Amino acid sequence: MHIVSGKQKIWDFLSVKADNPELLKAQYRAFTRQMPMMYFILLSSTWALAITHMKFAPTLLTVGVPTLFTFGCMLRVVFWLRTRNIDPSPELAHTVLLRTNRLAGAIAVAFTLWSFALVPYGDAYTRSHVAFYMAITVISCIFCLMYVRSAAFIVTVIVNGAFIAFFVATAQPTFVAIAINVLLVCAGMMSILLTNYRNFESMVVSKQRAEALSNENFRLANLDSLTGLANRRAFFVELEAELERARANGTRLALGVMDLDGFKPVNDLYGHSVGDRLLVEVANRLSGTLTASTAFRLGGDEFAIIAPFPPENAQLVINANAISERLRHPYHMPEGTIHISASMGIAVFPDLALDREQLFDRADYALYYAKKRLRGSAVLFDSHHEDQINSDARIESVLKQADLANELSVVFQPIVDIRDQATIGFEALARWNSPTLGKVSPACFIPIAERAGIVGSLTRPLFKKALAAASLWDTSLRLSFNLSAHDLNSGNGVLALIGIIESSGFDPQRLDLEITETAFTHDFEQVTQSVEALRRLGCGISLDDFGTGYSSLTRLHALPLTKFKIDRSFVKDLHQRPASYKIVKSLLTLSVDMGLDCVIEGVETEEELAALKTLGGTSVQGYLFAPPLPENKAREFAAQHGRHRNKIAV
Ligand code: C2E
Ligand code: CA
Ligand code: CA
């Protein structure tokens, strides 16, 4: 066993190992540069030796053989010069290095024999020249062959072995001394060469490791670890590269950004590990659907698709909808079957988007539009959206310069107890009468102010006005006021609200602050803290537009609420729409079970009211009773429809 491994070691030492392709290539590269020099030294010293022997030795030895050597060596020099600049494959490098190994042996034997053949001719000087030639030339060859350890070793053993044996055998003291000298020098040189080779080898290996590591780092930095899709960082790099290509080739490029509908409740209801598995499955379906496009995970439940060479617009939307359709198929998990859908926004270069930012923003805008109006399907950014963006931008700029304290006003819509038709309070609703734009709906300017981050500057004057008006009401009446997420996601924002309530003198116990569930998706911790601070003050908190978002019941429990408002989309024609009817019914049951009050919004007809009565609804708001009214009209309304008056004109 031991002997075999010892033999194996010697064999390894003498041959060129093929197990490390990078090392082979590095050896090849280092080696190619040194070979012409080695042959140059070898030939010039050979000719020098041949010339000193011309007087003494036969022409065959002094001209014939060196010419032959020169010819052979020149062939090799040409070979090395020609291959100097190629990047070899590991196989090629291995073949060439193996051949070098064999050639090194053959050349060493040939030159040694030739040198010995010259010894019998000439005098002591020329014999010394032979010794000098062999000793010194071999040293330079060994250095040149340094990176192919085996070749260097073979040459040393052949040339020096013969040299030492030959000159020791002459028993001539000078030659014996030279032989011993050469033996020692060669031993020293071999040990330096071995150390050097080991350093070279480990340098190549560590460079290789560093490269592998940086490749791995690069891969990890660009990959989403959960789904295995390329990540957000890779997305922007790729988008820029594809855009560059599309620009250069004059082709189109489509970008789709996608957001899952109903993902958050899955996370809330089943836990994050199920949510994670769902994302993995979505990613699998997504990449399984795409052929010529690439999918990315931008983060959370947001994905993106880059499609070079998209089809014409109508087909593009059909394809995108097919993807949404595929993602809508139920997901069967051990914990239960999960239903989600995916909304997608698409923008196309160069149709309506000219650079990376515009392409992304516009796809994102189309997604926002899809989420609002066409949940679960794909929307292509078109010229209408562009008009909308321009008009939003105009509204935003006018809003930023508006005299808000004067231009904004508040109207009040009654909330009625349908058991005795009495007004129990009013919801304050913002109105903006702009000198430049005329009347602008809050459904339009509030979201714009929210996106521009300036909604706080609207909330404060509106809240002051609403409280000032409500302070004049009968103390049995409550005031509802709408807040934006932005009003609650900073400690300072909520302190400002508390300050306004306190300085108004209005009893916080009579105040309901309405927030939508999206408020909690911004910064759950901060918004919950803000809401709790307002609760401690005595304010009620109503969850507005309940049912339109994706609040799960578990989530609803976690929020410090006192009330929820059923969105008017469920109320419309509920007597004719069994689905709406059932939803309102179960939401009312839920409110009873949770001990929360419930206001039903948007009641417009007697039929709807009758249906709500049979379901046990009590607090109702809607055009059937009154539209939002100016302050004085609201007071009149309350006077006419106050408690115990029991009459209502509808
Ligand atoms: P919201 O809080 O859901 O307010 C109810 C909206 O429904 C009001 O629209 C109201 O006029 C309308 N409405 C009331 N009864 C009926 C009905 O029977 N049928 C129909 N179709 N609609 C009815 P408005 O005043 O245009 O307000 C729109 C939205 O703007 C509000 O929806 C609210 O989200 C936001 N908003 C209004 N004022 C403010 C405010 O002061 N602050 C904040 N942050 N948002 C506000
Ligand atoms: Ca509201
Ligand atoms: Ca509402």
589, pLDDT greater than 80: yes
Count Cβ atoms below 10 Å from residue 216 Cβ, excluding itself: 10
Q: What percent of the chain has pLDDT over 90?
A: 61
Over the chain, what is the mean pLDDT? Answer: 90
CB atoms within 5 A of ion ligand 3 belong to: 544-545, 601
11 band by pLDDT with thresholds 50, 70 and 90 = low
pLDDT at position 553, please? Answer: 59
29, pLDDT greater than 90: no
Closest residue by Cα to atom 28, ligand 1, is 443
Beta-carbon contacts of residue 383 (< 8 Å; ≥ 6 apart): 352
Residues 622-640 have a mean pLDDT of: 96
Residue among 399, 482, 629 whose CB has most ligand 1 atoms within 8 A, to mutate: 482
646 band by pLDDT with thresholds 50, 70 and 90 = very low
274, pLDDT greater than 80: yes
pTM of the model: 0.64
**108-130 burial by CB neighbour count: b if 16+ within 10 A, else e?**
beebbebbebbbebbeeebbebb
Atom of ligand 1 nearest to the CA of 624: 18
Residue among 412, 429, 513 whose CB has most ligand 1 atoms within 8 A, to mutate: 429
- Helix residue spans in 84-172 (DSSP H): 90-118, 124-144, 149-155, 161-169
- CATH architecture designation of domain 232-381: 2-Layer Sandwich (3.30)
Residues 395-420 have a mean pLDDT of: 96
9 band by pLDDT with thresholds 50, 70 and 90 = low
15 band by pLDDT with thresholds 50, 70 and 90 = low
Query: Of residues 248 and 203, which shows the higher confidence score?
Result: 248
CA neighbor of 647 nearest in space, from 328, 354, 400, 416 = 416
Beta-carbon contacts of residue 172 (< 8 Å; ≥ 6 apart): none
415 lines ligand 1 (CB under 6 A): no
647 band by pLDDT with thresholds 50, 70 and 90 = very low
The number of the ligand nearest the C-alpha atom of 415 reads 1
Break the chain into its structural domains and give their ranges: 11-214, 232-381, 394-645
507 CA to centre of ligand 3 in angstroms = 23
Which position has the token pair 């097919």? Answer: 322
428 CA to centre of ligand 2 in angstroms = 8
604 lines ligand 1 (CB under 6 A): yes
628 lines ligand 1 (CB under 6 A): yes
Closest residue by Cα to atom 46, ligand 1, is 482
DSSP, collapsed to helix, strand or coil, labels residue 409 as: strand
Q: 112, 29 in Cβ contact below 8 A?
A: no
CA neighbor of 160 nearest in space, from 126, 137, 135, 133 = 135
pLDDT at position 518, please? Answer: 76
Q: 328, 336 in Cβ contact below 8 A?
A: no
Q: If one looks up domain 394-645 in CATH, what number appears?
A: 3.20.20.450
Hey, what amino acid is at 484?
S
